[in-house]
Amino acid sequence: MKIGIVGLGLIGGSFAKIFNKSGHTVLAYDIDDNVLSLAKSNGIIDEVLTRDKLSIYDLIIIAIYPKQTIEYVHANAKFFSANTIIIDCCGIKRIICEEVFLIADKYCFSFIGWHPIAGTENSDFNYSHIDIFKDATMVLVPQKQSDILLLDKIKYLLSQAEFASFIITTPEQHDKIVALTSQLSHLIASAHITCSDVHEESFFCGNSFKDMTRVANLNSKMWTELFIKNSDYLTSVLDLFIEKLVRHKNIIKDKRELELDMLLKMGNKSKEEVDNICKKST
């Protein structure tokens, strides 16, 4: 297969390494010439992806920020082939799909929203690796959920990445869920790490603190865009979280031991239920 990749960060770089190892032809583009040179010198990509070559690919993966993704598709739509599948890897879907589905219809190419539920707190090419998607979930956001042939083709094209499962959903449902399962977690970590003088208290940092704040090490530019573009769902989840946190605070302040014990047991039970669901989906 011929694979084009736009953006050689953690996700795009990992796809490049996976498809390269599988023997496919990989061309890529990145705004950082140093990253392109590194990828080419290491044999991870064959050539630089240019506009005149966009029509010859089986798959083009766009792994850049949401606004940049829309701008890239707008600028290159007329160069895509009807035989090429275009995908994006953004962490939000409404703003992408609303625009790009219309462009795809106008220029007669296939587009489907993707969101690989995988990654690390590090976002650049140096941290990309071939096992990043192994046993992970891929969320697919097609224009038509009934287009079985397109969905089957996507799963085939992704077989080398070794995803454990594929979930098909709508842009709205995707953004509503990631507000809770991803975006809220990153906000909490960012707020938590700034609560006190960590340098003074570093000797007391156990695994719970490290786990809780791991994703505070984030790409601020990207996550700012994700938060703002999904502000309606995210602020709704924040309101619910703050309400529950205030309830816990008041119970602790009033030293209501039985109520606190009950809430902690409820949290424990919910955690067990979520873990069981996650095990079944992998």
CA 133, 143, 88, 241 dihedral sign is: negative
217 within 8 A of 122, measured Cβ to Cβ:
yes
Residues forming a β-bridge with 115: 139
Per-residue pLDDT of the chain (282 residues; tens, 9 = 90+): 899 999 999 999 999 999 999 999 999 999 999 999 999 999 999 999 999 889 888 999 999 999 999 999 999 999 999 999 999 999 999 999 999 999 999 999 999 999 999 877 777 898 999 999 999 999 999 998 878 888 888 888 888 899 999 999 999 999 999 999 999 999 999 999 888 766 666 667 778 888 888 888 888 999 999 999 999 999 999 999 999 999 999 999 999 999 999 999 999 999 999 888 777 665
Residue 251: strand, helix, or coil: helix
Q: What pLDDT is attached to residue 189? A: 93
Distance of alpha carbon 80 from alpha carbon 86, whole angstroms: 8
Which residues, 6+ apart, have CB-to-CB distance to 78 below 8 Å?
A: 107
Q: What pLDDT is attached to residue 223? A: 94
The domain segmentation of the chain, as residue ranges, is 2-169, 174-280
Closest CA to 230 of 274, 173, 150, 156: 173
CATH code given to domain 174-280 = 1.10.3660.10
Distance of alpha carbon 49 from alpha carbon 205, whole angstroms: 45
Crossing angle (nearest 10°) for helices 94-107 and 66-76? 10
Pairing of strands 85-88, 59-62: parallel
Burial of 205 (0-12, 13-18, 19+ CB in 10 A): exposed
Pairing of strands 47-48, 59-62: unpaired
The pTM assigned to this predicted structure is 0.90
Burial of 83 (0-12, 13-18, 19+ CB in 10 A): exposed
Amino acid, single-letter form, for residue 5: I
Distance of alpha carbon 65 from alpha carbon 88, whole angstroms: 9
Q: What pLDDT is attached to residue 274? A: 87
112 within 8 A of 140, measured Cβ to Cβ:
yes
DSSP state, residue 194: T
Helix (H) or strand (E) holding 16: helix 10-21
DSSP string, 122-187: --SGGG--TTTTTT-EEEEEES-TT-HHHHHHHHHHTGGG--SEEEE--HHHHHHHHIIIIIHHHH
Q: Does domain 2-169 have CATH number 3.30.365.10?
A: no
Pairing of strands 165-168, 47-48: unpaired
The answer to whether domain 2-169 and domain 174-280 are alike in fold is no
Q: What pLDDT is attached to residue 200? A: 64
Task: Determine phi and psi for 224, rounding to 5 degrees.
Answer: -60, -45
Closest CA to 24 of 67, 50, 61, 72: 61
